Amino acid sequence: MKAIVVHEYGGPEELKFEEYPDPVPGPGEVLVRVAATSVNPIDYKRRAGLMNDYYPIQFPGLIGVDVAGTVAKIGAGVEGFSVGEQVFAMAADTYAELCVVKAANLANVPKGLDLIKAAALPQVTTAGNQLIAATETKADQTVLVVGAVGSVGRSAVFAAKQRGAFVIAGVLRSQKDEAKNIGADQAVATDDDDAIANLPALDAVADTVDGRTAEKLIAKIRQGGVFASVLGAPQNAAKYPFVKVVSVITKPDRRTLEFMGEAARDGKLVIPVSRELPLSQAAEAQAAAEKGSIGKILLLA
């Protein structure tokens, strides 16, 4: 098969489109013929060697966590899937024409959802949903989602609204107009200190940006509230022992993906796609993503 192969850590130029051995599904696994994958921060951080302490690449190796495609072969003991079915998942080594996925993590693409567009959903929608779950948000509580117009942030806003929460979208001043269309009840500019000072006491913060913004917002959480982040605890977390701080590591979850996929199909959740490129142009795609491309970038196998 053709795949994007990494031979050493470095810049986007280290992504080589070349032949690589076909993967073989073992017991409990499904071989998927990839229609599309997408670019996530974890992909370019791994390529750059920024995650090699706990998620290294075994050279020559592959990267990628999102996949949408069709079932090509079924491993021993797998039930509930048939060759040719459209599926999507969080997986590993998805920058390739074929990838192996644990059957327990694999979901059928909801009828009516475009197979290519489905590739934008697995990692970010699962992360957003699990981020809100970590905040322990309940109906009528107030939660602020930081980075709300990003893909994980949009997913978190949707998940919080499903729980009946009052949701404040934390965005940059330049993004406030865009924030009107993501389903939040209110928007606040997190680069405006006066706006942050005027926030009410929050039951929870769901953070996707970290840095100084996180350090300012943890101070707005009431006693017994929760600060949850996909990027780790704020540097000043020790100053707020009355706030529960949770670091969220996204894990594959079939039921979450089915639910979020149906929401995307029905237009209740919109994850913007900015570009679709052939898999062979993964280097260009990652370079654009690292510069802060708005919307997901898809790679078509």
Average pLDDT over residues 35-59: 96
- Confidence at 252, pLDDT banded by 50, 70, 90: very high
Q: How far is residue 161's CA from residue 168's CA, in Å, rounded to a whole number?
A: 10
* Edge-to-edge order in the sheet of strand 221-229: 186-189, 166-171, 142-146, 202-207, 221-229, 244-247
Q: What is the pLDDT of residues 155-172, one digit of tens each?
A: 999 999 999 999 999 999
pLDDT at residue 249 is higher than 80:
yes
Q: Which positions ≥6 away from 114 have C-beta within 8 Å?
A: none
Q: Which of 36-40, 53-57, 115-119 has the lowest mean pLDDT?
A: 53-57
Amino acid identity of residue 44, one-letter, is Y
Q: In this predicted structure, what is the pLDDT of residue 158? A: 98
Q: What percent of the chain has pLDDT over 90?
A: 98
Q: In this predicted structure, what is the pLDDT of residue 294? A: 74
Q: How far is residue 47's CA from residue 49's CA, in Å, rounded to a whole number?
A: 6
